[in-house]
Amino acid sequence: MTETANAAGEKPRKRLFIKTYGCQMNVYDSGRMRDLLTPLGYEPAEAPEGADLVILNTCHIREKAAEKVYSELGRLKPLKEEKAASGGAMTIAVAGCVAQAEGAEIRARAPVVDLVVGPQAYHKLPEFIANVHRGRGDALQTEFEVEDKFDALAAPARQIDGYSAFVTVQEGCDKFCTFCVVPYTRGAEWSRPVDQVTAEARALVAQGVREVTLLGQNVNAYHGAPPAGREADGAWGLGTLVRHLARIEGLARIRFTTSHPRDMDDDLIAAFADTPALMPYFHLPVQSGSDRILKAMNRKHTAAEYLAIIARLRAARPDIAISGDMIVGFPGETEADFEATMELARAVNYAACFSFKYSRRPGTPGAAMAGQVDEAVKTERLARLNALLAAQQTAFNQSMTGRRLPVLFEREGRNPGQIGGRSPYLQAVHCEGPASLIGHIAQVEVTGASQNALSARLVPGETRAA
Ligand code: 5AD
Ligand code: SF4
C-alpha cells in the first residue's frame, strides 16, 4: 500500500530505485536526484521490484555502457506491467548521458520509458515527473542549462551515505578529444562558484563527511568565481580552491578527478606539497604513449610533456601515487604506437591505471577515421597492457607492506569484526577493528597486499578516533 497516507496524515511514501552507470559524476548526480525527490515522499529502494519510480542514470562513454540501458529496460518492462496489474504505476525515467545523446531513439525503441532527462536538466525532475503523472508535458527533456541546475541544487541539504562524498565543481569539456562523447553529452566547460562549492562541502562535513572528492570532467581547468569580497582576485584555480576547502574544520581529506595534462599549473602542483589534506594520489589520463596517436586523438600534448608533468608532481610530493587512463586500438594505431604506450606505462610506473579498448562512438571524429583496428588486435593489446598495469599495481601495493598509514574507515568489512577504508593513496584497506572507528581516521600497519587491496592491523595506542 504505497499510495495511502498514514494515520499521522504524512505524505504517502513512494519507493524510488536509481541505478547508476558510469563515472563518479553520475554517482553524484544520482545522489542529487535522490535529494530532490525525498521531499516528495520518495524513499530509496534496493531493487526495482514494486518501485513507484525507477531512474536509470546512464553512461554513453563506450558502446557497451550505452547498450546496458536497453537490456535493463527490457528487464523493467514486466515489472512495470506487474505493478500496473496490482493497481499501481511504475514511472520509468532514463537520465544521464545516453538520455542526452539518444533521447529520441530511447523513446522510439523503448515505449516503457515515461521520461528522458539529460544531465543538465535533472534539477527539474519533480516538475517533469508531476507532468508525467498528469499526462502532460514533454517526455524528452535534454536542454542545457548547467548554471540554472546548480542554482536550483544549491538550496536543499545533501543527504550523506558515507564518510567520503563527491562534490561536483566543474562540468563539461571543451577539449574535443576525437574519441570522446563528453563534450557532446555534458556540454561546454563550466565551473561552479567557490562560495557554492564551499557551502556544499561545509554542509557535508556538518553531517559527518571526512573526505570530499571534487569532480569535473576537466577538473583542473576549474576557474570558479571567487568568494564574495574577493572579486578582485578574478577566477580561482583548482589549487586555490583546494587550499580554501582545506580550512574547513573537520574536513580531513581532499581529492579531485579527472584532470587533463594541458590544464596542469604550478599552483596545483604546489598544493600537493603545501596542503596536507590534499591526498597524494593523482589521476592523470594520458590515453596513448605515441605522439602520432596523441595528435590524432587531439590530446594537444606529447608523451614527453606528460612525463615531464609526472616528474614535477613527484618532485613536489615524492610519494604521490599516479593513476591514469589508456585507450588501445585507436584508429591508425600500429604495433609500434602500441609499444610506445607500453613504454610510457613502464616509465610512469602507475599505482593504478584504467585501460580500455577504443570504442567507436557515433558523432565523434574518431568514428569516421580510416584505419579502424581489428577487435582481435585490440583484445590482444589490451591483455598485454593489462598484464603490465596489474604487475605495477601489485608492486605498488606490496611496497606498502610493513608501513604505517592513516586509514579513513568507511564501512564494515566483509567478515565479522572487520572494517574497511582507504589509504591516502586510495588503496582499499581491510583490517580487524571495532565498528566505532567507522567515520574516523586511524593508524594501521600494513601486513599484506594484493593487486586490489591491503590487509592491515590497527597500531595499538594509535587507534584514537581523529
Ligand atoms: N573508447 C574507449 N575509451 C574511451 N574513453 C573515453 N572515450 C572512449 C572511447 N570512445 C576512456 C578514456 C577516458 C575514460 C573516462 O574513458 O580513457 O579517460
Ligand atoms: Fe573526453 Fe578528452 Fe574532454 Fe576528457 S578531455 S572529457 S577524454 S574530450
Residues 214 and 360 in one domain: yes
* Structural domain total, the chain: 3
Q: Which residue in this structure is represented by grid cell 496490482? A: 86
Per-residue pLDDT, 10: 58
Q: Which CATH number characterizes residue 125's domain?
A: 3.40.50.12160
Average pLDDT over the chain reads: 93
Among residues 398, 419, 451, the one where a domain terminates is: 398
Residues 135 and 165 in one domain: no
334: preceding bond cis by omega (within 30 degrees): no
- Residue with CA at minimum distance from ligand 2 atom 5: 175
Query: Can you tell me the distance from the alpha carbon of 147 to that of 191, in angstroms, rounded to the nearest whole number?
Result: 9
Give a yes or no: residue 3 inside a domain. Answer: no
User: How many angstroms from the chain centroid is the CA of residue 336?
Assistant: 33
Taking the centre of ligand 1 as the mean of its atom positions, its distance from the CA of residue 288, in whole angstroms, is: 11
Per-residue pLDDT, 146: 77
Per-residue pLDDT of the chain (466 residues; tens, 9 = 90+): 334 444 455 567 899 999 999 999 999 999 999 999 999 999 999 999 999 999 999 999 999 888 899 999 999 999 999 999 999 999 999 999 999 999 989 989 999 999 999 999 999 999 999 999 998 877 888 887 777 788 887 666 677 778 999 999 999 999 999 999 999 999 999 999 999 999 999 999 999 999 999 999 999 999 999 999 999 999 999 999 999 999 999 999 999 999 999 999 999 999 999 999 999 999 999 999 999 999 999 999 999 999 999 999 999 999 999 999 999 999 999 999 999 999 999 999 999 999 999 999 999 999 999 999 999 999 999 999 999 999 999 999 999 999 999 999 999 988 899 999 999 999 999 999 999 999 999 999 999 999 999 999 999 875 554 4
Let me know: does 305 contact 261? Beta carbons within 8 Å: yes
Residues 198 and 294 in one domain: yes
Among residues 379, 398, 417, the one where a domain terminates is: 398
Atom number in ligand 1 closest to CA 287: 17
Per-residue pLDDT, 143: 83
Query: Can you tell me the distance from the alpha carbon of 153 to that of 147, in angstroms, rounded to the nearest whole number?
Result: 10
Give a yes or no: residue 414 inside a domain. Answer: yes
Taking the centre of ligand 1 as the mean of its atom positions, its distance from the CA of residue 330, in whole angstroms, is: 10
Among residues 119, 145, 171, the one where a domain terminates is: 145
Residues 344 and 235 in one domain: yes
Give a yes or no: residue 1 inside a domain. Answer: no
Give a yes or no: residue 50 inside a domain. Answer: yes
Give me the torsion for CA of 162, 167, 171, 176, rounded to 10°: -60
Probe ligand 2: pick from 100, 218, 219, 264, max atoms within 8 Å of CB?
218
Q: Is the CB of 287 under 6 A from ligand 1?
A: yes
Residues 384 and 421 in one domain: no
Per-residue pLDDT, 155: 62
Q: Which CATH number characterizes residue 421's domain?
A: 2.40.50.140
Ligand nearest to the CA of 328: 1
Residues 214 and 361 in one domain: yes
Ligand nearest to the CA of 61: 1
* pTM beyond cutoff 0.85: yes
Residues 250 and 365 in one domain: yes
Residues 107 and 238 in one domain: no
Q: Which CATH number characterizes residue 347's domain?
A: 3.80.30.20
Taking the centre of ligand 1 as the mean of its atom positions, its distance from the CA of residue 426, in whole angstroms, is: 21
Residues 127 and 216 in one domain: no
Q: Which residue in this structure is represented by grid cell 592491515? A: 456
Taking the centre of ligand 2 as the mean of its atom positions, its distance from the CA of residue 259, in whole angstroms, is: 9
Ligand nearest to the CA of 369: 1
Q: Is the CB of 62 under 6 A from ligand 1?
A: yes
Per-residue pLDDT, 3: 41
pLDDT above 70 as % of the chain: 95
Residues 305 and 326 in one domain: yes
Residues 207 and 135 in one domain: no
